[in-house]
């Protein structure tokens, strides 16, 4: 399992406790990864987890493929969402899950307010409001179909399964 933007690891550690075999957690925050490692140790899961610090899209060539990829509340933290979806989809064998802010007035106001404050105060972190219909289309165009959808007042949860493997440009050029 690949957990991009894993934070303190709550999702992948829960799945490991429920029977998943191994996880790789990637996050830009060293502090979050320190806590994820601490929790993994506390739960006796250290041997089942690996952690990588940095930007997944830059580190992608060195990250192994996985059966399951999770992007939980991370697509709204990344400016180049197309690159994030494309590179993470390339690493996914079977199941691709993501959550994004729900498209409703409350979430738009909250996100836009946070984005404005981040700009005014020059915060190093701020969220991004993307075209969520386009994000869904990106996942579908990378060889997946939607198999599960649910929502809370704040978050939309989507789970996809791979229906076809797309070849990269480099692979296509060697096939001719």
Half-sphere exposure of 147 (CA within 13 A, CB side): 12
Question: For residues 72 and 99, is the Cβ–Cβ distance under 8 A?
Answer: yes
Confidence of residue 129 (pLDDT cuts 50, 70, 90): low
Of the candidates 70, 68, 99, 85, the residue with the CA atom closest to the CA atom of residue 162:
68
Q: Is 124 helix (H, G, I), strand (E, B) or coil?
A: coil
pLDDT at 171: 45
Q: SS3 string of 61-109?
A: HHCCCEEEEEECCCHHHCCCHHHHHHHHHHCEEEEEEEEEECCCHHHHH
Q: Of all residues in the chain, what percent carry a pLDDT higher than 70?
A: 90
Confidence of residue 170 (pLDDT cuts 50, 70, 90): very low
Give the least confident one: 61-65, 72-76, 83-87, 141-145: 72-76
Q: Taking 90 as the threshold, does the pLDDT of residue 85 lie above it?
A: yes
> For the whole model, what pTM was predicted?
0.85
What CATH number was assigned to the domain covering residues 2-175? 3.40.50.150
- Between 118 and 7, the more confident residue is 7
**Which two structure tokens, joined as six digits, stand for 101?**
């802010």
């Amino acid at each position: 399992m690949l957990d991009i933007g894993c934070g303190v690891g709550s999702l992948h550690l829960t799945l490991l406790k429920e029977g998943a075999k191994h996880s790789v957690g990637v996050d830009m925050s060293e502090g979050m990864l320190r806590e994820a490692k601490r929790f993994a140790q506390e739960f006796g899961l250290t041997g089942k987890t690996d952690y990588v610090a940095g930007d997944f899209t830059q580190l992608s060539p060195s990250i192994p493929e996985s059966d399951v990829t999770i992007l939980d509340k991370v697509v709204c933290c990344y400016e180049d969402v197309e690159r994030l979806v494309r590179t993470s989809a390339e690493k996914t064998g079977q199941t691709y899950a993501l959550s994004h802010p729900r498209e409703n007035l409350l979430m738009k106001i909250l996100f836009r307010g946070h984005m404005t404050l981040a700009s005014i105060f020059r915060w190093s972190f701020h969220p991004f409001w993307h075209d969520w219909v386009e994000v869904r289309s990106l996942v579908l165009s990378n060889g997946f179909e939607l198999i599960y959808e649910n929502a809370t007042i704040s978050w939309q949860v989507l789970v996809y399964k791979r229906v076809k493997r797309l070849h990269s440009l480099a692979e296509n050029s060697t096939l001719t």
